Structure 1
C-alpha cells in the first residue's frame, strides 16, 4: 500500500509523539502531548518555510513521520542541503516498505528545492537503521559530535 504523506496538522501531534516515545534511545525522553513545549515547537516548525513536519497516513491512521529542514550554506558554492530528522514508522508496520516511501518522498522534496545533497544522522547504536539507509543508497560519510547544553525537563 502507498502512504499518503502530507504536512502534519496539530491533531496529528499525539500520534507523532507516540511514535517518538516508542523508542529506546533514550527511553523516557518524551513526556506526552499535554506538555506545552510540543505545541510551541509544532507552531515554530509550521511557521518556518524551511522546515516541514510530515505525517504519513495509511487508511486514515498516522503511521509515520519525519522532520525535514532546508539549510542554506556557503560551502559548495552556496548550495542548499536537506536535513532529515526524527524518522519513525509505527512499530507494527515496520519492514513493509513504508520507511522507504517516506525517505523517497523527503528526497524528492529536496530535489524540488534544488538541494545539492540530503543528509541525516542516526545514533551509532541503531545498526538496523544503518542497514536500512545503506540499502537505499545512503553512504556513511561523517562522524558526528554532540554537546549537551542542559538536561531536558
Structure 2
C-alpha cells in the first residue's frame, strides 16, 4: 500500500537532503557542491527564498523522509493583462524513489498551487541535456514550444 505524500515548505533542516538530490545526477553533479557542512551559498539562497513571498521551496515527504523537491516562483507580468505566472524549477526526486509517481505528484501539486495564486500560466525549465525530464514533462501535459537563451 502506497503511503500518502505530504507537501510542505522546506525548512533549513531539509537543506542537506535537497542539495543531495540536486547533485545526484550527471548534470547536477557538475554544478552542485554536496559536501557537509554545505557551502554557505546554499544557506544564503535558502534564506532569500524563504523570505520572499513569491518564492516557495517545497519538499515532498513520505512520513518524515524528504523524497522530492521543487521551487516555484510567482511572477507578475504586464503582459496577459497584468497576469501572474508560476515558474517551476529544481524538480528532483530521491533516486531510490524514482519511477514511483513522486515527480508527477510534485508537478500536479505545483499546478494546483499556481491556481491558488491565480496564475494564468505554469511554465517550467529543464536543461536540454535532460531529454528524459523533457519527455516526462510532455507526458504529463506540458508542451515544449519556446526557445530561450541564457548569458
Shorter chain as denominator, the TM-score bin is over 0.9
Q: Structure 1 residue 3: deviation in Å?
A: 1.3
> Whole-Å Cα distance in 1 between the matches of residues 149 and 27 of structure 2?
16
Partners in 1 of 2:33 and 2:64 — Cα distance? 25
Q: Pick the aligned partner of 1:28 from 30, 43, 47.
A: 30
Distance 2:148 2:96 in 1: 30
Kindly report which structure 2 residues correspond to 1:34-45, keeping only aligned pairs within 5 A, or say none.
34-45=38-49
Structure 2 match to 1:151? none
Q: How many residues align?
A: 147
TM, length-normalised to structure 2: 0.93
TM-score of the superposed pair, with normalisation by structure 1:
0.92
Task: State the match for 2:66 in structure 1.
Answer: 62
User: For 2:112, what is the secondary structure of its paired residue?
Assistant: helix
Question: In the alignment, is residue 105 of structure 1 matched against residue 109 of structure 2?
Answer: yes
C-alpha displacement of 1:26:
4.8
**Distance in 2 between the 1:26 and 1:113 partners?**
30
Tell me the equivalent position of 1:85.
89
For residues 145 and 5 of structure 2, what CA distance do their matches in structure 1 show? 29
Separation in 2 of the partners of 1:26 and 1:102? Answer: 19
1:144 and 1:3 map into 2 onto residues whose CA distance is 33
Match of 2:10 among 8, 17, 21: 8
Q: Greater CA deviation, 126-135 or 49-58?
A: 126-135
Check conservation: 2:22, 2:28, Cα contact below 8 A. no
CA distance in 2, matches of 1:115, 1:19: 28
- Report the Cα offset of residue 126 of structure 1: 1.3
Q: What is the DSSP-based 3-state SS (H/G/I as helix, E as strand, rest coil) of the residue aligned with 1:128?
A: helix
- Structure 1 residues without counterparts, runs of 5 or longer: 148-153
**Greater than 6 Å deviation, 4+ residue runs:** none
SS at match of 2:73: strand
